[in-house]
């Protein structure tokens, strides 16, 4: 494994013993021409996710495996991975295999071409392979969030994103932050962009979210992010004199 990778791919997983090994191999294939590290962060899984990924490290030397001692949620797992990452560019994917790793390089290329003021390029899922109820709930939630926060994002629930590690570390952390990265990047004075990406059926395991659970969390999160936006004061640049 190269000591200084150019890209760190961070994947949070919880009870994904069926999806994780195939996903890790797909990531390695998608980025085969890049200098990468692959960081899976296990959020205290109850199944054999850690065991199957540990066995895979012999096959994929670029694979790193971190494990939370206590379940702490997807946002904390992403942050754990970003903190441990050694590359300046981060790519995140959901651990259930519904994000296609083959879309990742295009996000990285768009981020590199956009210049330093663009801190994040997010995926926007097309032809979503979710239930009708989940798609309706997502469409409503994204519409309300976009209107209230003005973050320009049509699909913040897409786990596939490429962003600059340093910019992420400048953001205030809270649970569920992964759904508000565009708004928070804009708050810090960065720009964001989006590209269409694919979406796949879940082949193994079960979703860890429910529409009702998302609704309750989203209401309090939205109020919190709106408060953060209202308390933001930027110097518009810093000069050393």
Give per-residue pLDDT as tens, 177-211: 999 999 999 999 999 999 999 988 877 766 655 55
Please give the CATH topology (third level) of the domain spanning 7-230: Spore Coat Polysaccharide Biosynthesis Protein SpsA; Chain A (3.90.550)
Q: How confident is the model at residue 135 (pLDDT cuts 50, 70, 90)?
A: low
Residues 6+ apart with CB under 8 A from 149: 180, 183, 222, 225, 226, 229
For the chain, how long is the longest CA-to-CA vector?
Answer: 58
Q: Quote the pLDDT of residue 57.
A: 96
HEC letters along 157-207: CCCCEEEEHHHHHCCCCCCCHHHCHHHHHHHCCCEEEEEEECCCCCCCCCC
Give the model's pLDDT for residue 209: 55
Higher pLDDT, 101 or 136: 101
Residue 194 CA to residue 120 CA, distance in Å, equals: 8
Predicted local confidence at residue 210, as pLDDT:
54
Identify the band that residue 157 occupies on the pLDDT scale cut at 50, 70 and 90.
Answer: confident
Distance CA 10, CA 108 (A): 14
pLDDT interval class at 74 (50, 70, 90): very high
Read off φ and ψ for residue 193, nearest 5 degrees.
Answer: -145, 170
Domain-by-domain residue ranges, the chain? 7-230
Q: What is the pLDDT of residue 46?
A: 96
Contacts of 153 (CB under 8 A, 6+ apart): 122, 124, 142, 145, 146, 182, 183, 192, 194
Between CA 5 and CA 37 the distance in angstroms is: 6
């Amino acid at each position: 494994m190269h000591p200084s990778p150019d890209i760190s791919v961070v994947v949070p997983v919880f009870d994904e013993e069926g999806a994780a090994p195939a996903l890790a191999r797909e990531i390695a294939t998608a980025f085969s021409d890049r200098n990468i590290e692959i960081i899976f962060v296990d959020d205290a899984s109850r199944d054999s996710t850690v065991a199957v990924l540990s066995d895979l490290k012999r096959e994929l030397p670029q694979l790193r495996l971190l494990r939370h001692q206590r379940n702490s949620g997807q946002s904390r797992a992403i942050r754990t991975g970003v903190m441990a990452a050694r590359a300046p560019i981060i790519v995140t994917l959901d651990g259930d295999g519904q994000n296609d790793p083959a879309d990742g390089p295009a996000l990285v290329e768009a981020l590199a071409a956009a210049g330093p003021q663009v801190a994040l390029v997010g995926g926007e899922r097309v032809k979503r392979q979710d239930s009708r109820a989940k798609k309706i709930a997502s469409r409503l939630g994204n519409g309300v969030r976009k209107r209230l926060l003005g973050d320009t994002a049509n699909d913040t629930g897409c786990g596939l994103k490429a962003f600059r590690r340093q910019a992420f570390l400048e953001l205030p952390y809270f649970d569920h932050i992964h759904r508000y990265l565009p708004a928070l990047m804009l708050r810090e004075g960065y720009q964001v962009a989006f590209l269409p990406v694919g979406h796949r059926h879940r082949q193994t395991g079960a979703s860890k979210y429910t529409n009702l659970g998302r609704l309750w969390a989203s209401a309090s999160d939205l109020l919190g992010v709106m408060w953060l936006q209202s308390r933001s004061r930027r110097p518009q640049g810093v000069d050393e004199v």
